[in-house]
Amino acid sequence: MSGLETHSLYALPIPQCRMEEILEQRAHELGVDIRRGHEMVALRQDADAVIVDVASPAGSYQLTSRFLVGADGGSSAVRKLSGIGFPGITDDSFVGRTGQVAIPPPVSDPETGELDVPGLGRLRPASFTRTENGLFAYGMFQPGVYRVAVFEWDQPKLDDSDSITIDELREAVRRVLGSDIPIAELPAGIPVVMSRSTSSNSRQADRYRAGRVFLVGDAAHVHSGVGGPGLNLGMQDVMNLAWKLAAELAGHAPEGLLDTYEIERRPVGERVIMHTRAQTALLSPGAYITALRQLLGELLHEKNNVQHLSDLLSGADVHYDMRTEGEAHPLTGRWMPDLALESEGGPTRIAELMRSARPLLLDLANRADLRKVVADWTDRVDVVAADSVEQLADVVLIRPDGYVAWAAGPETSDATDGLRHALTTWFGPPV
């Protein structure tokens, strides 16, 4: 990807506990009531409401709400209790072993995390090494602490386990790399993580909605972790659904708005399942796969192909149908780039303006004619006039999830009608 002028694929190495802290803090700021240790055990719905039974340390109780969002992970009880199927595949052709270990110098370089493996040369953290006997991957999450993962195919059947020995891990690494690595236990105080897994699921809910119940995140899709797309995919589901539910509860959602959640997000989940399966195939053993890797390697000398993969893996190729009236501007349906802006209030960015989670009309060309149209929607839609060095459009209407509902350039004809249509389609009728 480094050969591309721009690409939006990069990793943010944030430990999960930190990620949860940040999300929890934001939820508290917004007044969300988080109840830990409370389990939803049953649900039913009628035309007006969803009723759930909750088991808690202090006893059982019921909750009634207009909608229920199942964000309860791959084994989702919400999905099962709503009768939503979860078709796909379970791959049990491999045995994977993972451990959090020390690898002392000189095999490891404590500065860079690189490993010098006899017979294989220097390996980089966060890379995959595919050999004739399997797959080796590792990362260094803090100096001297390595997370090693090793996968083998055509192995005798074994059970999953959360407590394998360090010798079992060491032996598997030796079989796959054909060389010994001095894998050692970590000092006391660093959690011991040693596990064996023998299957991987790749499945998608056959519906994302059943009446008043919605699924988001792993409840709606699970797939191989290769490339780490899971968290982003789930967060984007939530971003897509949340503002639509809010509009429904506030009473100004246009007809059918809630249905666009599944229409927009299911194909995105399908594509992540597709590319994680493709990557899993490319990491598996055998002469046919080696040939396929060689062919793909040749195709990746073409910049366009690299760009295609970068866009696929980062989700930059997501494009929603915004049901535009007339000719659609190229930005329409796409993720709004995070432009640097100069506004009346000083320098800002798109990401800052979106913090309010309200629709935004961004005027980059002093189009008073179009700002006037929004006057009938200002209870729901913010209007900001600003300058930007990158003049991607005159005016952009951005949904709270960061996607462009409508845009116009200097050439756009019937812009007032187009904007009125987009405002009504996505944010409801005028006041």
**Least distance to ligand FAD, CB of residue 223, Å:** 9
Q: Which is nearer to ligand FAD, 73 or 88 (CB)?
A: 73
Sign of the CA dihedral running 104, 165, 145, 8: positive
**Least distance to ligand FAD, CB of residue 102, Å:** 20
Residue number closest to ligand FAD, CB atom: 217
Across the strands, what pairs with 334? none
* Cα angle for residues 271, 274, 275 (degrees, 5° grid): 90
**Least distance to ligand FAD, CB of residue 271, Å:** 15
Q: Which is nearer to ligand FAD, 70 or 285 (CB)?
A: 70
Q: Which is nearer to ligand FAD, 215 or 386 (CB)?
A: 215
* Cα angle for residues 226, 8, 25 (degrees, 5° grid): 80
126 φψ region: left (φ > 0), alpha (ψ -120 to 50), beta (else): left
**Least distance to ligand FAD, CB of residue 219, Å:** 6
Q: Which is nearer to ligand FAD, 16 or 304 (CB)?
A: 16
Q: Which is nearer to ligand FAD, 241 or 396 (CB)?
A: 241
Using CA atoms, how far apart are residues 422 and 329, in angstroms rounded to an integer?
A: 12
CA 392 to the chain's CA centroid: 26
**Phi, psi for residue 139 in degrees, rounded to 5:** -145, 160
**Least distance to ligand FAD, CB of residue 26, Å:** 14
Q: Which is nearer to ligand FAD, 278 or 365 (CB)?
A: 278
Whole-Å CA distances, 294 to 85, 220, 282, 298, 429: 38, 34, 10, 6, 55
**Least distance to ligand FAD, CB of residue 217, Å:** 2
- Are the beta carbons of 42 and 53 closer than 8 angstroms? yes
Q: Which is nearer to ligand FAD, 65 or 232 (CB)?
A: 232
- Residue 125: name the closest of 141, 110, 114, 111 by CA: 114
Q: Which is nearer to ligand FAD, 289 or 316 (CB)?
A: 316
Give the neighbor-by-neighbor strand order of the sheet with 134-142.
127-131, 134-142, 145-153, 94-101, 194-197
**Least distance to ligand FAD, CB of residue 233, Å:** 7
Q: Contact residues for ligand FAD (CB under 6 A)?
A: 39-40, 71-73, 77, 217-219, 225, 228-232, 234
Using CA atoms, how far apart are residues 151 and 79, in angstroms rounded to an integer?
A: 31
**Least distance to ligand FAD, CB of residue 407, Å:** 30
CB neighbours of 322 closer than 8 A, spacing ≥ 6? 328, 332, 333, 403, 404, 405, 406, 422, 425, 426
Using CA atoms, how far apart are residues 135 and 121, in angstroms rounded to an integer?
A: 16
**Least distance to ligand FAD, CB of residue 36, Å:** 9
Q: Which is nearer to ligand FAD, 230 or 359 (CB)?
A: 230
